[in-house]
Structure formats: C-alpha cells, structure tokens
Amino acid sequence: MGNGSGAGAPAGPGVAGFSAADRLIELAEAVRAEPALPRDALAALLARHGERPADLVPEAFGEPEAAGLRAAARRMALVLAETDEDRAAEALNGLLEECGTRPRLTRHDGHPWHLHADREGADWGEWFLASGALELARLLTVYGRIAWGACAAPGCGRLFLGTGPGSARRYCAPACATRARVAAHRRRRREAEAGRGDGPEGGVSPLP
C-alpha cells in the first residue's frame, strides 16, 4: 500500500514533483475540511502525489481502505495541531512504534531514493501513519522546532507547513495573520473602553 513514497523528500516539490510533507498536509487538511471525503477524491489526491493508478482502482482502494485512510488522516491532524515539541515528539514516537518498522531506503516508479518506514503488508491507514510520522520526525530534526501547525486564526484551523526561514508560524497565510491582529486590536480596545467604567469623566465612580 502507498507505494508512491515514504519520507525524506524535500518539504516542497522535489524530484518528479514529490514531497512527503506536502502529501501529508494536503491529505490531512482535506479530511479535516471534509471528514467524509469521498473515496474518489482521496484516490485523486493520492494520484497527484505519485501513487500508481493501478493501486487506486476501486478493487484495490475501496471504501474500507478509504475509511481507514480517513481515520489515519484525522489522527495525523491531531499531531499537526500540536504546539509543544516534547508532546509532538512523544506522539510521533508512539506512531512509529505502532505502525512503523526499521526504516529502509527504496526507489521505485520514477521516484528518487527515499525512506520507507511502513511494515510489509500495511494497510493504507498504517502506511499513512508510518510515513507521516517519519516525515514529521525528519522535519522536527532538521528544523529543531515544530515546522507545521494548525492556523490560530479564529474560524480557520487550516493545517500548514512552516518550513520557511524565521520563527515558527502561527497562521496559514498572511490574510489570516492580518485578520487575527485586527481582531486582537479591536478586542483590546473594547476591553480598555469597558475598563474605564461609567463614572465621571469615563472613570470609576468615587466611593461615598
């Protein structure tokens, strides 16, 4: 299952356009946004990220396999929303212990050499958990910090990669960051106005 690739590709388009991190984020975000994402949509997403068409026909990737992959995507979304490095590392170690095996280098279907950590005979959900955990562990090691997240803007929550330069990101896009700053500014202004009270000259009424 999941022969497109495991982990170890760059966080961005790599050889043949593959990125394990991009695949992880896109699939987890798609299921977060649409929990009952149809089988055909999942298959199309996997195909865009290098899975073989023969592995994605309904006979090989049917509704039971799609359900398992959706469940795995929801579990990975919880890790992607984690903001504490120690808790994230603990969760990744747990997933690798549960679903992974000794990492191995492999090359197939036109992809460059890359790591696989899923077990022989793993189903689609186990493959996604093992490969996703391996990729996030790699990013945590390379960047020395959490290089992913869930957008902190109210009403958003979109999952994203934060592998660019600078400090860790909290928002999926500049528009969400701006919206959050404006909302915070308005909230502080309302709190300041409320704090002035209704007494004389906007202050607190004096005690008798």
**What residue spans define the domains of the chain?**
15-146
Residue 126's pLDDT is: 97
**Whole-structure pTM over 0.85, yes or no?**
no
- Residue in 42, 51, 44 with CA at minimum distance from that of residue 20: 51
The answer to whether 141 and 63 are in contact (CB under 8 A) is: no
The answer to whether 184 and 202 are in contact (CB under 8 A) is: no
Question: Could you read off the pLDDT of 146-181 as tens digits, one per residue?
Answer: 999 999 998 999 999 998 877 778 899 989 988 878
Cα–Cα distance, 75 to 161 (Å, whole number): 17
Question: Could you read off the pLDDT of 106-140 as tens digits, one per residue?
Answer: 887 777 888 888 888 899 999 999 999 999 999 99
Cα–Cα distance, 125 to 67 (Å, whole number): 8
Domain 15-146 architecture? Orthogonal Bundle (1.10)
Spell out the long-range contacts of 179-184 with Cβ–Cβ below 8 A and sequence spacing 24 or more. 179/153, 180/152, 180/153, 180/154, 183/154
Q: Report, as an integer, the average pLDDT of 79-95.
A: 96
Residue 65's pLDDT is: 98
The answer to whether 22 and 161 are in contact (CB under 8 A) is: yes
Strand partners, 160: 149
The answer to whether 27 and 128 are in contact (CB under 8 A) is: yes
Spatial neighbors of 105 by CB under 8 A, at least 6 apart, are: 113, 114, 115, 116
* Backbone dihedral angles phi then psi of residue 146, each to the nearest 5 degrees: -70, 120
